[in-house]
Chains A and B, each alone.
Chain A
Amino acid sequence: MVEKFDAIVVGAGPAGVTAAYVMAKNKINVAIVERGEYPGSKNVIGGVLYTKTLDDVFSGFWSEAPLERRIVQHSYCLMGKGEHTIVSHMSTGQVDPKSGYTVLRSKFDRWYLKKAQEAGATVITKTNVTELLPNEDRIVGVRTDRGDLSADIVVVAEGANTMLCEKAGLITKPRPDQMAVAVKEIVALPSDRIQERFAVKEGEGAAMHYIGALFEGLVGFGFVYTNKESLSVGFGAIISTMMRKRIKPYDLIEKFKQEPSVEPFMRDGVVKEYQAHMIPEAGYTGMPTLYSDGVLVVGDSAMLANPVTGEGADLAILSGRLAGEVAIQAHMRGDYTSRTLVQYQRLLSNSFAVRDMKKQSGLLKYIEENPEIMSTYPEVINAALGIWFKVDGSTRAEKFRKIRSFITSKRRITRIMKDIYVFGRKLM
């Protein structure tokens, strides 16, 4: 006999676990199916979990969750050739426990899944879901490599690889220009060294974001995040641009690690793990329809990642909560059709996170059409500051003229005005 649950969640990442946790708390008979050897074993995060949405689900999480460091310092580094500029913000005032923390997923996901289990969710690991089972037009369960399970509703949290959703016709396979691949390393360093290098206290940490062209014409993003006793160092780029340039992801991270703006932070560190993961970069316009009869799609599977802010896991948690709440409504009404489930997409579209993604969608398109701006501006700012800080016998007025002619040699004034206008409009 096929085992029957009220709800099945596919995937024990933050989106899936949140959905299971919310449902289990409300006495829904929910099972969460994870293909990994243990929860978190397949999962990778850049490093920072912004915890506002976690606190909405699990108030006071910080007193018990396995967190690495509370991020008090955020920086942007504009990489250049032979120079770089770092813009840094440090918060030294009152402690805000709901801000952002670095996490390691093998620890965090394990803890989080245990919370869902304690709330009453059935946890099934080492089991891969191969298909969503339809009955006429609606989803009524899942096929796994260990047998079928049936349910009134299935929440799909399969991550960035969306085979289940594609097979069920919920979404189309993403294109190479809609996904990025990031490669990351865990580099072990003693905690006091991390504190000295980043000028932070014990328990506090830094998040550094790198912009600029590592290779000619390749738009990518790099990061260095501090964990308790290691750094998360990574670099990623849109898959289509890497294909065009024929650059290997592991060459990219090796080059990044040798950058003069990166190398001093990780000097003498020992590489403990090498990881690669895809990140949905399509933004709002790439978001599929997230519901159908008997099914909801959450997290990375729903393309819920914000390429501008670097948010992902927190959006996954938000979507998991909303999906869980809508599933509870469906359970109460006894109606698991789109009529009830559409509410999930509505709630998500009205959330701060997706409103942001909607607003920024034009910006991504603009950057895609004008990729040079991601390297030209770092170059221009680096050069301008280089000229400004140099005492070489020329007057300040001469320096200003030199800076101005350098800037206009790189980009016409009318283009600069347009860039400022577009960025201003799409971000504010």
Chain B
Amino acid sequence: MRLEEKLYLLRHVVDEKSHIKIDEDACMRCADRVCLDICPANVYSYVEPKVFIAYENCVECGTCRIACPFVEWVNPIGGTGISYRYG
């Protein structure tokens, strides 16, 4: 099963504002771009020359915040973001 199909199963209440910010200069120069691999929801993608963020797919695990110093990740505002139906 492809990740896209799995993400499609999830219920999100999407805020119009992103809760994820990155240091764009640092990301451009970054050699690792560990964000592209470590995110379980594939929120980060790289299209020359910058990193794009699909914050509306975020499942709020916070792994990127631990893995990368250039990610500034905060909780989405109350009542928005992922809503697991099983958990």
Q: Which residues of A contact B (CB under 8 A)?
A: 35-38, 40-45, 104-106, 109, 125-128, 130, 144-146, 160-161, 163, 173-176, 179, 181, 183, 185-186, 230, 239, 242-243, 246-250, 254, 271-278
Contacts and interface: CB of A to CB of B under 8 A. Distances in A.
Question: 6 shortest A-B CB distances, which residue pairs?
Answer: A126-B79, A105-B87, A276-B40, A274-B6, A161-B62, A249-B40
Given A272-B9, A275-B86, 18 more contacts: A35-B75, A36-B81, A105-B86, A105-B87, A106-B85, A125-B78, A128-B76, A161-B75, A181-B40, A181-B63, A239-B67, A243-B67, A246-B34, A250-B42, A271-B9, A274-B7, A275-B87, A278-B66
B74 A273 contact: no
A126 to B, nearest CB: 3
Interface of B: 1, 3, 6-7, 9-10, 13, 32, 34, 37-42, 59-63, 65-67, 73-87
A275 to B, nearest CB: 6
Given A273-B9, A273-B86, A128 B61 contact: no
B63 A239 contact: yes
Contacts, number: 137
B62 A42 contact: no
A248 B37 contact: yes
A163 B38 contact: no
A243 B68 CA distance: 10
A39 to B, nearest CB: 10
B82 to A, nearest CB: 6
Nearest to A103: B87
A243 B38 contact: yes
Given A174-B66, A181-B63, A278-B61, A249 B38 contact: yes
B83 A161 contact: no
A176 B6 contact: no
A239 B66 contact: yes
A181 B40 CA distance: 9
Contact of B85 (A126, A160, A273): A273
